[in-house]
Amino acid sequence: MTGSAIAMFVIGGVIIWGGLLGSVFYARKVAKTKK
């Protein structure tokens, strides 16, 4: 894979999978504080 392809894989992955994990962890954090 070329450097630019790897860069797009990393950027896309971080934003999309990071967005999912961030939203899930935030929901868990808020749920814990509410308890």
Angstrom distance (rounded) from CA 21 to CA 10: 15
The footprint of another protein on this chain (CB under 8 A) covers a number of residues equal to 21
Choice between 2 and 35, CB closer to another protein? 2
Contact flags string 6-25 toward another protein, x per CB under 8 A: xxxx-xxx-xxx-xx--xx-
Which DSSP string do the residues of the chain spell out, in sequence order? --HHHHHHHHHHHHHHHHHHHHHHHHHHHHHHHH-
* Interface with another protein (CB under 8 A): 1-2, 4-9, 11-13, 15-17, 19-20, 23-24, 26-27, 30
